[in-house]
Amino acid sequence: MSTHKSLRAVVAVPLREEHCLLIERLEPRLELVRDVSLTRPMRGPADWSGDPDHERSAAQQRAFDEMVDSADALFGIPDVDPAALARTVAANPGLRWVMTTAAGGGGQVKAAGLDDAALERIVFTTSAGVHGGPLAEFAVFGVLAGAKGLPRLRQDQDAGVWPERWEMRQIDEMTVLVVGLGGIGAECARRFHALGAEVWGTTRSGAPVDGVDRLIPLDELVSAVADVDAIVVTLPGTEQTHHLIGADIFAAVKPGVIVANVGRGTVIDEEALLAALDDGRVGFAALDVFEVEPLPSASPLWRHPHVLVSPHTAALSSKEEERIARRFAENATRLLDGEPLRAVVDTVEFY
């Protein structure tokens, strides 16, 4: 990759001025173009798509499109809308790099339906890894909630019942299988290892990961789950990972296994999970992600006594915006210096 003297980057989503200034300070060769009057206002932390009720006038939309189309690089997919990405890619032959604000931004790139020439010309990167810490904490929380019998404690407390004493499970006596050892999975492994668990992890590369005692090839997953006490899913949603954790896995698990999902909802077959919860093969499930989001009110997961539902909010942090701004600046430096970028989207599997 050749080096470049400067880079015109356009902020295509809402980003506070303090974070724009941070990017400029970290990489002074960037020309960072932004216009807060043209991006939708955020409704809360890291609300990259902005308020959907905010409408631009025709003149504002033209100005926004012109600004976006002038970019060598984009901070964010415009309005986090795949159709808007497809429009600017077609309109701007000079576009070389797009960073998605979502860790799973590959799905948005795929939804834009870009041709091979565009995918060859433009490097797409994601914010993968910046959410690792918060999601790993939720995974630990979910496994602890299952190990310590949170539903039983809550039920007795609500009823004002002091039961006979009963034994809780201990993390340091458990084997925890982390399915997917990317940025989030590596953070999960580190934390479970620190709590004394035996940590197993699935891998495609076979490369060792800190805190992981045993690497499991994906094709050995069904046999491995018979020996683990908790399964933590961190995988992205791709065609290859769709329903990877399905009926065959749940049929093979050690009865009472705890499941936590901080990856994508499509990795787990929810029908198969519900059947396994009902017959006790899965003792507890802590889920931050679901096959359909928002989770439909008719879903039995809402009311299941051994399920903890989190509305895809475990990664949300007021620090997220700053972390993503730092990632953008770091990758801008890499691009300008001819170095490989971090978290590049695989444009075959789109993760």
Alpha-carbon span 165 to 301, nearest angstrom:
29
Which of 312, 326, 334, 342 is catalytic? The answer is 312
Q: Give dist(CA 351, CA 348) in Å, integer.
A: 9
Work out the number of other CB atoms within 10 angstroms of the CB of residue 161.
Answer: 8
CA distance 82 to 86: 6
Q: Which residues contact 297 (CB under 8 A, 6 or more apart)?
A: none
Rounded distance between C-alpha atoms, residue 180 and residue 182, angstroms: 6
Please give the order of strands across the beta sheet that includes 175-179: 214-217, 198-203, 175-179, 230-233, 257-261, 282-287, 307-309
- From 227, 210, 237, select the one nearest 108 (Cα to Cα): 237
Residue 218 burial by Cβ neighbours in a 10 Å radius (0-12, 13-18, 19+): middle
- CA distances to 217, 228, 285 from 223, rounded to whole Å, are 11, 10, 20
312 assigned to active site: yes
Q: Is 264 a catalytic residue?
A: yes
HEC secondary structure over 114-171: CCHHHHHHCEEECCCCCCHHHHHHHHHHHHHHHHCCHHHHHHHHHHCCCCCCCCCCCH
The residue assigned the tokens 């309109």 is 91
CB count in 10 Å sphere of residue 333: 17
Nearest partner of 325 among 29, 41, 59, 15, judged by Cα: 15
Give the pair of three-digit tokens for residue 313: 């909010």
| Annotated catalytic residue, options 40, 131, 191, 264 | 264
Task: Judge contact between 42 and 80, C-beta under 8 A.
Answer: no
Task: Report the catalytic residues.
Answer: 264, 312
